[in-house]
A and B are shown apart, each in its own frame.
Chain A
Amino acid sequence: MSLKDEQKRVQRERRYPPFWERAVPVMVAVIAIVITALLVIAILVALGMFPGSP
């Protein structure tokens, strides 16, 4: 088995506790969606197209 294959095998065997196995990707996805929304709002504010724009 090559070193790379061995590294992949070890990586596959690693696991977080069950809660974090599921929670982390969900939280990252939610954060990504929220960041996108905040960035869109900030851009709209900069363009003067949002309430409270300068």
Chain B
Amino acid sequence: MEFTNIILPFSSSLISFVFAYFVLKRYLARRGPHLLLWGIGMIFYGIGGFTEGYHGLFGWNPVIFRFWYLFGAILVAAWLGQGTVYLLARRRWANTFMILLALGSIYGALRVFGAELDPSLMTTSVHTGSEMSGHAIVTPGVRLLTPFFNIYGTFTLVGGAAYSAWLFWRKRVLLHRTIGNLLIAVGAMLPAFGGTFSRMGISGALYLSELLGAVVMFIGFWRAVTPIGETDAQSAEVPV
């Protein structure tokens, strides 16, 4: 239980923060809003993992829970996906969605930090009870925010990565970017599967999937920015 509820999420958090460091370092060198948003998204991912590990180590804390739900359950996928929107969409559309996401995030934060909580509801749900669960939120309507952010995040992050891989494959260029985007798409999907398995009562599924997701996305990012025996000119053509 200690491994599942403490070591897994803390490991996920550590990897996420390290990943964020490298992405933001690349942002400082190359600029590009997509890198900034991916870096912020991975910081959110790390905050989610940290709060899960904290909960496993110290037990219930309402502030920790609110941070977990806001950053880990609501915002992370959407902010990562917004980075991909900046990479693939026209700047005007990306800016529009960014404004909507920012306003939605502020609204979500106000609702989460103003919500009434009941930790006993986490153990009475279909979840295993060892993992954190949004069932602890009593105030109606707060949990309804999550699917909208996750739908947007899934479509843009996973769909965007798969679409990028498809584009590179069609042109038969930059194989490393193709492979990297496929890994990023797979890694981004893993936490969604973990949540589903968690609902079925499989203990540790959520935290394990989050860890694997962070690792696979990190490998994908590294693969995407590391050419495979290609010229620097080719890899410099497409900004990432």
CB < 8 Å neighbour of A51 from B126, B144, B154, B159: B126
Q: Which residues of A contact B (CB under 8 A)?
A: 11, 14-17, 20, 24-25, 27-28, 31-32, 34-35, 38-39, 41-43, 45-46, 51-52, 54
Which A-B residue pairs are the 4 nearest by beta carbons? A54-B143, A14-B172, A46-B147, A24-B169
What are 13 of the A-B contact pairs (CB < 8 Å)?
A11-B171, A16-B169, A17-B175, A20-B169, A20-B179, A24-B169, A27-B165, A28-B162, A28-B182, A35-B155, A39-B155, A43-B147, A46-B151
CA A31 to CA B151, docked complex, whole Å: 15
- Chain B positions within 8 Å of A11 at CB level: 171-172
CA A43 to CA B146, docked complex, whole Å: 11
Which of B35-43, B103-111, B184-192, B214-222 forms contacts with chain A? B184-192
Is there an interface contact between A46 and B148, defined as CB atoms closer than 8 Å? yes
CA A17 to CA B186, docked complex, whole Å: 21
- In the assembled complex, B83 has its CB within 8 A of some CB on chain A: no
From residue 162 to 201 of chain B, which have CB atoms closer than 8 A to chain A?
Answer: 162, 165-166, 169, 171-173, 175, 178-179, 182, 185-186, 189, 192, 196, 199
- Chain A positions within 8 Å of B151 at CB level: 39, 42-43, 46
Is there an interface contact between A42 and B169, defined as CB atoms closer than 8 Å? no
- In the assembled complex, B76 has its CB within 8 A of some CB on chain A: no
- In the assembled complex, B150 has its CB within 8 A of some CB on chain A: yes
CB < 8 Å neighbour of A15 from B142, B147, B172: B172
Known: A24-B165, A28-B162. A38 touches B171 (CB 8 A): no
- Chain B positions within 8 Å of A54 at CB level: 134, 137, 142-144, 146
- In the assembled complex, B158 has its CB within 8 A of some CB on chain A: yes
- Chain B positions within 8 Å of A52 at CB level: 125-126, 199
Nearest CB in chain A: distance from B180 CB, A: 12
Is there an interface contact between B185 and A31, defined as CB atoms closer than 8 Å? yes
Known: A14-B173, A20-B179, A46-B147. A35 touches B154 (CB 8 A): yes
CA A28 to CA B206, docked complex, whole Å: 24
- Chain A positions within 8 Å of B159 at CB level: 32, 35
CA A31 to CA B161, docked complex, whole Å: 10
CA A7 to CA B185, docked complex, whole Å: 30
CA A34 to CA B192, docked complex, whole Å: 10
Nearest CB in chain B: distance from A10 CB, A: 10
- The residue on A at minimum CB distance from B140 is A54
Is there an interface contact between A24 and B155, defined as CB atoms closer than 8 Å? no
- The residue on B at minimum CB distance from A20 is B175
Nearest CB in chain B: distance from A45 CB, A: 5
CA A48 to CA B21, docked complex, whole Å: 38
